[in-house]
């Protein structure tokens, strides 16, 4: 039973395309997050959702849009992909926002050609 799952694990696509990454958690948590880790291993939080409401929206291009159909899912849509979007994207969840243990998905490696 995977606690936090992401699909796909790898995503290779052309510049200009639109793509989505899906995330699901079966922990009953109220908060979910999207992180981006670049090639230099820098970690940055992009979004967090608490009970389907956006809490944090760091400085992220509006080409990135999180979609939360329900508390257990937080999908990431990326429009007009650029080379600089190549990174590993991690989904995570926690019981409460920020102060509780976060459980991470396995990551999605996005490569934009």
Partner 1 sequence: AQKVTQAQTEISVVEKEDVTLDCVYETRDTTYYLFWYKQPPSGELVFLIRRNSFDEQNEISGRYSWNFQKSTSSFNFTITASQVVDSAVYFCALYNFNKFYFGSGTKLNVKP
Indicate which single residue of 28, 42, 59, 62 sits in contact with partner 1 (rule: CB under 8 A): 42
Selected range binding partner 1 among 14-22, 59-67, 72-80, 89-97, rule: CB under 8 A: 89-97
For 44-83, letters b (16+ CB in 10 Å) and e give ebbbbbbeeeeeeeeebeeebebebeebebbbbebeebee
107 binds partner 1 (CB under 8 A): yes
Q: Least separation, in Å, of the C-beta of 104 and partner 1?
A: 4
Q: Considering beta carbons, is residue 80 or 101 the nearer one to partner 1?
A: 101
Contacts of 39-48 with CB under 8 Å at 24 or more apart are: 39/86, 39/87, 46/76, 47/74, 47/76, 48/97, 48/98
Minimum distance of partner 1 from residue 101's CB (angstroms): 5
Cα–Cα distance for residue pair 47/60, rounded to 1 Å: 9
Of residues 4-23, which lie at the interface with partner 1 (CB under 8 A)? Answer: none
| Residues near partner 1 (CB under 8 A) | 35, 41-45, 55-56, 58, 88, 90, 92, 97-104, 106-107
């Amino acid at each position: 039973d995977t606690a936090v799952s992401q699909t796909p694990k790898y995503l290779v696509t052309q510049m200009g395309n639109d793509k989505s990454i899906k995330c699901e958690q079966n922990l009953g948590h109220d908060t979910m997050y999207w992180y981006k880790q670049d090639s230099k291993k820098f970690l940055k939080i992009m979004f967090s959702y608490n009970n389907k409401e956006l809490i944090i929206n760091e400085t992220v291009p509006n080409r990135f849009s999180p979609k939360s159909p329900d508390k257990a899912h937080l999908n990431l849509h990326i429009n007009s992909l650029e080379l600089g979007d190549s990174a590993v994207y991690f989904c995570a969840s926690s019981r409460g926002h920020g102060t509780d243990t976060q459980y991470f998905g396995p990551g999605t490696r996005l490569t934009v050609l």
